[in-house]
Structure 1
Amino acid sequence: MPTGTISSSEDMVGVAVVNYQVPVVNNKDEVLANCFRIADFVDGVKRGYPGLDLIIFPEYSTQGFHLTKWRELSTTVPGPETEIFSEACRRNNVWGVFSITGELNLQGNPWDTFLLINNKGEIVLNYHKINPWVPMEPWYPGDRTTVVEGPKGIKIGAMICYDANIPELSRDLALKGAELIVLIQGYMNPAREQQRIVTQVRAWENLVYLANANLAGRDKTYSYFGHSSIVDYDGTIIVECDGTPDQVTYALLSVSSIRDSRKNWTAENHLFNLNHRGYSIETLKGGLGACPYDYIQEWSSNSKSFMKKTESITKFKTAEKRVLARTKIR
């Protein structure tokens, strides 16, 4: 896709990812001050890139990753934080992706939340992280993937940080029609190279654009490696930041191009080939569509049995997770 321009067009969605400096906040007033800083970024990036349609901020960019004050920094959605973000989107006529860690939850611990706000200031997508990072994150896990129509009609799916390491999640988004997967991360060293590879693989195996915004800099616990990027649906990196905090990069994504490729590609059309196995020998029947993967069948029919099976080949058992949750997450 084209790079080197600051404009966009009817077919091209202008997307910016922000290598946001990890915030260190200790109370709600400091959180709100940081929200206004994020809103200033929206203003500035729109001035600099007038073709901007969608701006993306990382996981933990609003409240930071505070290992002891996470509960008292949690908030409601909508709430005072989202009011600031919504106003920034309205006045700049852009869509934005923002992070709330956490969103208060009557079922238990707060959620790790991904919000997509449209150019009218409306929250159009509220996704809760399905795979919190074991054993450090206290967030209550979400239970569904989400895809919505975004700017200029591009279909957007949501992932948060560790979600990207679970290939089933991005595949589910793609099969729900996602053309752009937005991945927000608060990922730290030493996992930089693995995560750069993961973003490319997830894009290629699902024929999907992937826009990844990651934190940069250091808080009191971790060093975040940045490298926010936008990846083409053939797995090549279109643009990428380095590790410098507060960098922004921008690219154009063609809606018609990805739809044409999904319609006309053959050997590289992984979404079609997933369940059209044996197409060449089963032409009249349209391929062998039955699921050949035992773990998917067992997981869907007997989740407890599947959990025991996975624990039998791992050392990190459920009981140990509970102990760590009690002793490390306060």
Structure 2
Amino acid sequence: MPVGSISSSSDTVGVAVVNYRVPVLESKEEVLDNCHRIADFVEGTKMGYPGLDLIVFPEYSTQGFHPTKWRELCTTVPGPETDIFCEACRKNKVWGVFSITGEINPNGNPFNCFILIDDQGKIKLNFHKINPWVPKEPWYPGDQTMVVKGPKGLMIGANVCYDSNIPEIVRDTVMKGAELVVRIQGYMYPSKEQQIKVASVRAWENNVYFAVANMAGRDKLYYYFGHSNIIDFDGTTLAECGSAPDEVTYAELSISAIRRARRNWTAENHLYNLTHRGYSAVKDGVATSPYSFYKIWSEDPEKAKQICESLTRDTPEQPSEEQATGHLLNK
């Protein structure tokens, strides 16, 4: 893919990811002030990168993650925060990905949301984080992966932070048609090396573009390492920020290149090969799933849970060292 460019074309989608400075906010008024700052980022980035089609902001970039006031800062979707983002996208003719943590949920704890807004200022997707980062995150887990048609027809799938550590979530997103998986995250040290590598691995094993926006700087709890990046569908890095707050980087993603690769690659075509096992030996390959755990999980979730607990522990509470050692010895 082209690197070092600030342009795009009819065949390429210009994507920017932002190392947004982690906000420390105490009131809804401060949240809305921060939303206007994000809107200014949209405008400035579009001016600096005229090829920009999609800009991505990290998880927690809107409301932050206040250790005691997080519930007070929750909102609705649509709401006053997304209204500001919608106007910024409409005004600057760009698509944008934004974070809402959290969206009020009448049936339980709030949701952690990935919001995709188009260049007309319309909300096109509201994805709820499937695997909240336990034990610290209080968000109610979402129950489905989501993919929509994005700028210039590129298919965009949503992940939020810890979601991308679960290979099944990314694979399901890709199997719904995603050509670009966007991961918004609020990841802190000491997980820097692992999370940078995860983006490349998920891109390679799913033949998919990956765009990651991470926060940078310190809030009341953590120091976030930044390193927002854009990964090619072969797992190589197209662009990457450092660790400084408010860095922005940019890359072009070719639509025809990924579609051509998915159609023509052989040994590297991990999506085709998944359901055409051994086609060099068996005509058209074998489509039947060989993975017994996934069959069990689909048919009997409680049994699947028991299998996991037999390998780990049988309670959300972390056992004492004595209990853990005894549990392992008694297996």
Q: Which residue of 1 aligns with 2:324?
A: none
Matches within 5 A, 1:14-53: 14-53=14-53
Q: Which residue of 1 aligns with 2:265?
A: 265
Matches within 5 A, 1:245-284: 245-283=245-283
Q: Which residue of 2 aligns with 1:308?
A: 306
Q: Which residue of 2 aligns with 1:325?
A: none
Q: Please list the CA deviations of residues 285-311 of structure 1 after superposition, one character each: whole Å capped at 9, or x if unmatched.
A: x21111111110111111111112111
2-structure distance, mates of 1:176, 1:216: 31
Q: Which residue of 1 aligns with 2:152?
A: 152
**CA-atom RMSD in angstroms:** 1.0
Q: Which residue of 2 aligns with 1:137?
A: 137
- Name the amino acid aligned to 1:110: P
Of 180-189 and 61-70, deviating more is 61-70
2-structure distance, mates of 1:111, 1:316: 26
- Name the amino acid aligned to 2:159: M
Matches within 5 A, 1:1-330: 1-283=1-283, 286-315=284-313, 317-318=315-316
Query: Structure 1: which 5+ runs fail to align?
Result: 322-330
Give, in angstroms, the shift of residue 227 of structure 1. 0.2
Cα pair distance change 1:22/1:315, threshold 3 Å: same
Cα pair distance change 1:33/1:316, threshold 3 Å: farther
Q: Please list the CA deviations of residues 242-262 of structure 1 after superposition, one character each: whole Å capped at 9, or x if unmatched.
A: 100000000000000000000
Q: Which residue of 2 aligns with 1:327?
A: none
Give, in angstroms, the shift of residue 71 of structure 1. 0.9
1-structure distance, mates of 2:170, 2:71: 29
Give, in angstroms, the shift of residue 318 of structure 1. 3.0
SS in 1 for 2:304: helix
- Name the amino acid aligned to 2:108: G
2-structure distance, mates of 1:317, 1:191: 25
Q: Please list the CA deviations of residues 193-229 of structure 1 after superposition, one character each: whole Å capped at 9, or x if unmatched.
A: 0001000000000000000000000001000000000
2-structure distance, mates of 1:316, 1:236: 39
Query: Structure 2: which 5+ runs fail to align?
Result: 320-331
- Name the amino acid aligned to 2:286: L
2-structure distance, mates of 1:119, 1:238: 24
1-structure distance, mates of 2:274, 2:121: 38
Give, in angstroms, the shift of residue 319 of structure 1. 5.2
- Name the amino acid aligned to 2:29: D
2-structure distance, mates of 1:28, 1:294: 49
Give, in angstroms, the shift of residue 317 of structure 1. 2.2
1-structure distance, mates of 2:184, 2:54: 13
Question: Size of the alignment, in residue pairs?
Answer: 319
SS in 1 for 2:210: strand
- Name the amino acid aligned to 2:110: P
1-structure distance, mates of 2:261, 2:296: 33
Give, in angstroms, the shift of residue 107 of structure 1. 1.4
- Name the amino acid aligned to 1:318: P
Give, in angstroms, the shift of residue 42 of structure 1. 0.2
2-structure distance, mates of 1:253, 1:119: 18
SS in 1 for 2:110: strand
SS in 1 for 2:194: helix
State whether residues 216 and 223 of structure 2, in contact with CA within 8 Å, keep that contact through their aligned partners in structure 1.
Answer: yes
SS in 1 for 2:115: strand
Name segments (4+ residues, structure 1) moved above 6 Å. Answer: none
TM-score (norm 1): 0.95
State whether residues 67 and 220 of structure 2, in contact with CA within 8 Å, keep that contact through their aligned partners in structure 1.
Answer: no
